[in-house]
Structure 1
């Protein structure tokens, strides 16, 4: 993984630094030492307890047939006349934790701010369902959305995808998998997983301890998702930086955080997308950490990331 330019550097946002100091003082066991079910509940509690109130929008839960059984969807409707653009948002959580509840506030905010019907999915999680279960589920939902957009008062010619962390990787992979049959207008990637740790990065060495997402947690996520199969670390449906080409991606917006272990792989991904001839906007937030979009009551940085993504999506989907 090669990053050819230096990103701006800045001290960590004071609110985020205070949150991390308080968390460290509590002396809780590392996430990777806990059963996945406990880690999932911790993530739900953090997302619910550290975010500002989100906009009130109409929602409906439904299920569709998926490759491994029923898939639960949550659909968000803005207070606007259709047909509207549609946004498929894929939650993060390292393929192991995260669900419809952890990212409900993010989806509500994007629904309201973009003026789009937002679709979210409870895709299958590892280690119970290792690779490629999650990406198969996300591809299935993208295909369903393209075929059923009109039922949702959405315009099938104005579909976008977005996601954070592992969800960003899954969203991008779904675009590549369906290239030639579905043509999204836009792709938003917040601190994406792009090729974790197959090649060491400076940002992992710099930020791999004490900044929420640690090296140990990330390695646990990947081991769970890939079922310990090291040969999959370069599989193109996992490692975006190993994909033969990224030219089939739609116009892309990539956000990286200065104090994130995944900063450099996200930066490299933005460069590769642009080098493939895809219109690319890379936004860097020097004082932010991984998962900051959940911590809006602690710091305004995460809210700004989501607001910037919403502005970009709204322009692309106009």
Structure 2
């Protein structure tokens, strides 16, 4: 990837000045100023006053509210083929899983499994569809969005097993869901990033071409610098994070399982992962999860790239229709996905 590509943002050429690869950050190290572009977008969209936190509602009601709010980010969708399938379980412990398959013109062989986030409780293909279509365009690959079982009705490991089942189908019988045989890149945002890395830890015998992790939760229930820095930040608070954790992992003893907390995986398991791209958001309570995983992989000599988008909040990729920073980030991620698929 050219270091002088005019279509990529300045932040993609190096690490933030405040970040020390050798030392874990402290809360005061992390800038807490929203980007001017984000403030302009929020002012343009306006505010209707305090909003109900969907995590304080019964799960089904909260899920419906989150889906309604996500509609603003998922209009004027980039044109491409869209198909839905129900994937039969490729694992005995999985459930049938609905997937949305997005295929751009002249797509290369293979696919990008893009796992929606939403705290393991609220995400769906439709909440991430605009971002998924942008990624498909920029990667030149089919993107597959799975609608896995959700907490709290189906806590860990139900959603993980469903995603792993879809991954196995993509790797072994892609034609059953309209994909062509080829390299499979696995990725996701937030809880979806957790499920992405956990899928490859669960299925080490089925190697992927690469791993794309967008502002992920990699150690549920553990506090680091960014959790403290942004505990009461608008949009994604410490209270929400705690409720998501309690829904997905109601048994505290399971919060140390590496398939729930990939940061606790052993060195050998992490070293066996394919090349990794970590995209962090600077004003995000989960930023330190991304930085901690990056440092672990660096220490193992693993092929890992880190990008931190300045002034962006958790979940900003969903804003790709309205926010140029998000669109640029997806352009970078698409190029990385294309490189992974090409073996570069």
Q: What TM-score comes out, normalization by structure 1 length?
A: 0.90
For these two proteins, the number of residue pairs brought into alignment is 312
Deviation at 1:197, TM superposition (A): 3.2
Deviates more, 1:131-140 or 1:105-114: 105-114
Runs of 4+ in 1 over 4 A off after TM superposition: 5-8, 18-25
Per the alignment, residue 101 of structure 2 pairs with: 75
Which residue of structure 1 lines up, in the alignment, with residue 315 of structure 2? 291
Q: 1 CA distance for matches of 2:95 and 2:279?
A: 33
Distance 2:308 2:75 in 1: 23
C-alpha distance in 1 between matches for 2:151 and 2:136: 28
Instruction: Give the 3-state SS of the residue equivalent to 2:273 in structure 1.
Output: coil
1:219 and 2:245 correspond: no
What is the rounded CA distance, in whole Å, between the counterparts of 2:280 and 2:111 in structure 1?
24
Cα deviation digits, residues 13-58 of structure 1 (max 9, x gap): 1243456688876122323222222322232233221356331110
203-212 or 62-71: bigger deviation: 62-71
Q: Which residue does the alignment assign to 2:23?
A: 4
Aligned residues of 2:134 and 2:327 also touching (Cα < 8 A): no
Q: Structure 1 residues 3, 34: CA separation in 2 closer, same or farther (over 3 Å shift)?
A: farther
Asked if the contact 1:52–1:296 (Cα under 8 Å) also holds between the matched residues in 2, the reply is no
Q: Which residue of structure 2 aligns with residue 33 of structure 1?
A: 56
The 3 A distance-change label for structure 1 pair 305 and 124 is same
1:205 and 2:224 correspond: no
Q: Deviations 1:85-106 (Å, cap 9, x if unpaired)?
A: 3111111000010111101112
Mean Cα displacement is larger for which, 166-175 or 8-17? 8-17
Q: How does 1:24-103 map to 2 (within 5 A)?
A: 26-50=49-73, 53-66=76-89, 67-80=93-106, 84-103=109-128
Alignment of 1:154 onto 2:177: no
Displacement after TM superposition at 1:298 (Å): 4.5
1:167-219, CA deviations, whole angstroms, 9 ceiling, x for partnerless residues? 0010101111111x211111000001110332x21211111213311111111
Q: What is the CA deviation profile of residues 202-254 of structure 1, one whole-angstrom value per residue up to 9, with x for unaligned ones?
A: 21111121331111111111100112x11111111111111113111110000
Question: Is there any run of 5+ residues in structure 1 with no aligned partner, and where?
Answer: none
Q: Is the 8 A contact 2:96 2:162 kept in 1?
A: no
Deviation at 1:5, TM superposition (A): 5.1
TM-score under structure 2 length normalisation: 0.84
Q: Which residue of 1 aligns with 2:253?
A: 231
User: Structure 1 residue 169 and structure 2 residue 169: aligned?
Assistant: no
> Is the deviation greater in 131-140 or in 274-283?
274-283
Contact 1:57 1:111 in 2 (8 A): no
Q: In 2, Cα distance between the equivalents of 1:70 and 1:32?
A: 26
Q: Equivalences for 1:270-309 in 2 at 5 Å?
A: 270-309=294-333
For residues 56-83 of structure 1, give each alpha carbon's deviation from its aligned partner in whole angstroms, at most 9, with x where no partner exists. 110111112233532111112221165x
Aligned residue in 1 for 2:13: none
Alignment partners' CA distance in 2, 1:43 and 1:30: 9
Q: Is the 8 A contact 2:54 2:66 kept in 1?
A: no
Contact 2:41 2:323 in 1 (8 A): no
SS at match of 1:154: coil
| Aligned 8 A contact 1:185 1:317 in 2 | yes
Contact 1:251–1:280 (Cα < 8 Å) also in 2: yes
